[in-house]
Amino acid sequence: MDARTKVALVMLSLLGLPGVVAVARAQPGPDQKKLDYFVGKWRAEVDVKASASAPAAKASATEDCEWFANLHVVCRSESTGPAGLYKSMRVISYVPALKQYASYTVDSIGYAVLLLGQIQGTTWTFTADYGGVKTRYTMKTAKDSYSAVSEYAGADGKWTTVSVVNSTRAK
């Protein structure tokens, strides 16, 4: 066996095997299993509220969510409204070290938003504070539907609705 082959085998054993062992041990706990609610195809109607920078608008959307590594849910969305096509991708996870859920969304406009949240009954509430502007995303779930409200609050602490989403599971 030449030196290059030995180095390759050592690197594979150092890098590859721990990953294989970690994957074998990665089993969802009860908190991850709650994410199963999101898995599937969804159809949504989005009502974007008027703001100082944009008029009110309505859009239709689809979202396709699937398990990733049996621990996270990845959702890809597309919506069409007056401004044209909008795409986003969201990863929803449970973070055991924080004892919270995380929702990380990136979109075709260039936004990237990380929210942390909790579930209480059928209500999921995700929040963030970016430089004094608070963001809140609240979902109220039912068997095959959910309604969601996105809000923000500035220095005055008053919550302003940005959008309302009504979504149903596609059959």
| Of 54 and 20, the one with more pLDDT | 54
The percent of residues above 70 in pLDDT, for the chain, comes to 85
Strand partners, 11: none
Whole-number pLDDT of residue 25: 60
Confidence of residue 8 (pLDDT cuts 50, 70, 90): very low
Whole-number pLDDT of residue 167: 98
pTM of the model: 0.81
Q: Report yes or no on 5 lying in a domain.
A: no
Q: Report yes or no on 88 lying in a domain.
A: yes
Q: Report yes or no on 127 lying in a domain.
A: yes
| Whether residue 124 has pLDDT greater than 70 | yes
The rounded mean pLDDT for the chain is 88
Please state the rounded mean pLDDT for residues 12-33.
62
Please state the rounded mean pLDDT for residues 22-31.
74
Q: Report yes or no on 82 lying in a domain.
A: yes
Q: Report yes or no on 15 lying in a domain.
A: no
Confidence of residue 154 (pLDDT cuts 50, 70, 90): confident
Confidence of residue 20 (pLDDT cuts 50, 70, 90): very low
Characterise 45 by phi-psi region: left (phi > 0), alpha (psi -120 to 50), beta (else): beta
Give tens-digit pLDDT for 51-80.
888 899 999 999 999 999 999 999 999 999
State how many domains the chain has.
Answer: 1
Domain coverage including residue 59: 29-169
Q: Report yes or no on 3 lying in a domain.
A: no
Any idea what the CATH number is for the domain that residue 53 is in?
2.40.128.20
Q: Report yes or no on 17 lying in a domain.
A: no
126 near 137, Cβ under 8 Å? yes
Q: For the chain, what is the HEC assignment?
A: CCHHHHHHHHHHHHHHHHHHHHHHHCCCCHHHHHHHHHCEEEEEEEEECCCCCCCCEEEEEEEEEEEECCCEEEEEEEEEECCEEEEEEEEEEEECCCCEEEEEEEECCCCEEEEEEEEECCEEEEEEEECCEEEEEEEEECCCEEEEEEEEECCCCCEEEEEEEEEEECC
